[in-house]
Amino acid sequence: MKIFSVSQIKAWDAYTIQHEPVISVDLMERAATACYNWITGHFNKTYSFKIFCGNGNNGGDGLAIARLLIENGYRVSVFVVESISEGSPDFKINLERLKSISNEIYFLENETSFPGLKDEIVIDALFGTGLNKKPTGIFSSLINYINKNAFKVISIDIPSGLYADKSSWSYRSDGHRLTDIQKSKLSDRDRQSIIKANYTLTFQNQKLAFLMPENESFTGEVILLDIELSKEYEEQENSPFEWVDKNLIRRIYIPRYPFANKGNYGYACLVAGSYGMMGAAVLSAKASLRSGVGKLTCYICKTGYDIMQTSVPEAMCKTFGNTFIKDAKNFKEFDAIGIGPGLGKHPSHKELMQNLFRNFKRPVVIDADALNILSEYPSLYKSIPAHSIITPHPKEFERLFGKSDSDFDRIKLALLKAKDLNIFIVLKGHFTFIATPVGKGYFNSTGNAGMATAGAGDVLTGIITGLIAQKYSSLHACILGAYIHGLSGDIAAKKLSEEALIAGDIINYLGEAFLKIDVK
């Protein structure tokens, strides 16, 4: 699923209107009907609604939703802000339609005219995705009033006050970037001039803003509503970002063929573990085997030998050093190598990584302590083999490439560094982001908060290493690896709870995850 910018979404609407054909007010009706169907499926007629509308097309959506609710017996009051004479054409049409069936339409001029809010459901239709400056005046006051007093809030398309394509914290009301000093002086009122929705009903495809951790407190649960925008436009229009869904995964996934043997599924190596941290190596090894790799050898230290041989009998072992890996050699026989889980940080590891990068010219999967070693020796960056994969969490990413002003800026930086170093960056998080060397980014759609647990990243390293060994491209290994990792975590959370989930559970449910995507 492509993630389009605001301008592309506007063009998508226009293309649909022109080529379906459908007039714009009827497309608005389609969107309102989709919202109405979701609302009435979740809230019965014991609930009443207060709908707040601006005078643009988002406000027109709100007016159309109000009419549909009223026509079907719901108690609804509508509150309009701004001049009607300056409203969009579709807003004006829907206002006249609403007036024909309701007297519960009010016009807000200042804070004294705000209605009381008790147990009603508030529907926010003040601003849509086209917002390009921060709300001020009565809008800012109304947003803060709703946030303080509303029982539940449903935002239409996007929470009002939230930018769709850029950080809402990094810009002044005139569109210019805030300095660090200006950010530090933001008042609580300025910080609150964005609707805090319980639900966001958005149309057709994901929005970039919904995938940023900094916006979590505003969006609530995001529900995608299909309003049948043109498939032709979506197929032919390019986008720098994509939402990884089941359709994409099924195009990537390669089922096994009947006459296969272990040689068909690759030979992987994991360089992992040290005294006191062999658990990370064990988790990574088990995950790599569960990913389907044909054969696995683990390069470990001598003190970890009995642990690995006992815990993962399917894996072969070679030992280098006593309590940590030292002087590991002979990397050329492998199809893929993963390095980092439980590795520890020792001065000799710089030489270890130099040796690996010099003698192994296929993609390497780099995680955990291997990333921390890299961050201490930036001179190693340019020697990383082409199309290698690094899998940092946000703090590791910061140590590697520096701080970012916002989550949006971090995404841009990841894309920049992926291109500069000719590598793939798997930036771990709720919607894990995959930055590619060609400038395109992918957001993973699986996973849950229960996976915020020690060892989950080591599992991902093992999975991706195993997929690379099986001849998946680096791009496909990142996408499929992140998806299957998150899907397994979702299955585990449903059966065990998010709180009780541990990294080993992700491995245990990898089989069920593969079964879900391998639909014949």
The secondary structure element, H or E, covering residue 98 is helix 89-99
Give the sheet arrangement for strand 121-125, strand by strand.
105-108, 75-81, 48-53, 121-125, 152-156, 199-203, 221-225
Which residues face 390 on adjacent strands?
366, 425
Query: What's the alpha-carbon Rg for the chain, to the nearest Å?
Result: 26
Q: If you average pLDDT over every residue of the chain, what do you get?
A: 94
Tens digits of residue pLDDT in 273-309: 999 999 999 999 999 999 999 999 999 999 999 999 9
Tens digits of residue pLDDT in 4-50: 999 999 999 999 999 999 999 999 999 999 999 999 999 999 999 99
Note the pLDDT of residue 188.
46
Note the pLDDT of residue 520.
58
Strands 105-108 and 241-244: unpaired
Structure tokens at 17: 């209107």
Length of the chain: 520
Contact status, residue 288 vs residue 314, Cβ threshold 8 Å: no
Note the pLDDT of residue 252.
96
Contact status, residue 265 vs residue 294, Cβ threshold 8 Å: yes
Report d(CA 93, CA 78) in Å as an integer: 15
Report d(CA 355, CA 377) in Å as an integer: 14
Which residue shows structure tokens 């609930």? 47
- Going residue by residue through the chain, which has 520 residues, state the pLDDT in tens, using 9 for 90 and above: 999 999 999 999 999 999 999 999 999 999 999 999 999 999 999 999 999 999 999 999 999 999 999 999 999 999 999 877 789 999 999 999 999 999 999 999 888 889 999 999 999 999 999 888 889 999 999 999 999 999 999 999 999 999 999 988 655 555 555 555 445 444 444 555 999 999 999 999 999 999 999 999 999 999 999 999 999 999 999 999 999 999 999 999 999 989 999 999 999 999 999 999 999 999 999 999 999 999 999 999 999 999 999 999 999 999 999 999 998 988 999 999 999 999 999 999 999 999 999 999 999 999 999 999 999 999 999 999 999 999 999 999 999 999 999 999 999 999 999 999 999 999 999 999 999 999 999 999 999 999 999 999 999 999 999 999 999 999 999 999 999 999 999 999 999 999 999 999 999 999 999 999 976 5
What contacts 520, CB < 8 A, 6 or more positions away? Answer: none
Nearest 5°: the CA angle 427, 429, 433 is 40
Going by the DSSP 8-state scheme, the letter that residue 272 receives in this structure is: -
Note the pLDDT of residue 318.
96
Q: Which domains does the chain have, with CATH numbers?
A: 2-239 (3.40.50.10260), 247-517 (3.40.1190.20)
Q: Which of 405, 382, 401 is nearest to 392 (CA)?
A: 401
Q: Which of 451, 469, 452, 468 is nearest to 507 (CA)?
A: 451
Report d(CA 308, CA 507) in Å as an integer: 16
The pTM for the full model equals: 0.93
Nearest-10 Cα torsion for 39, 40, 44, 46: 70
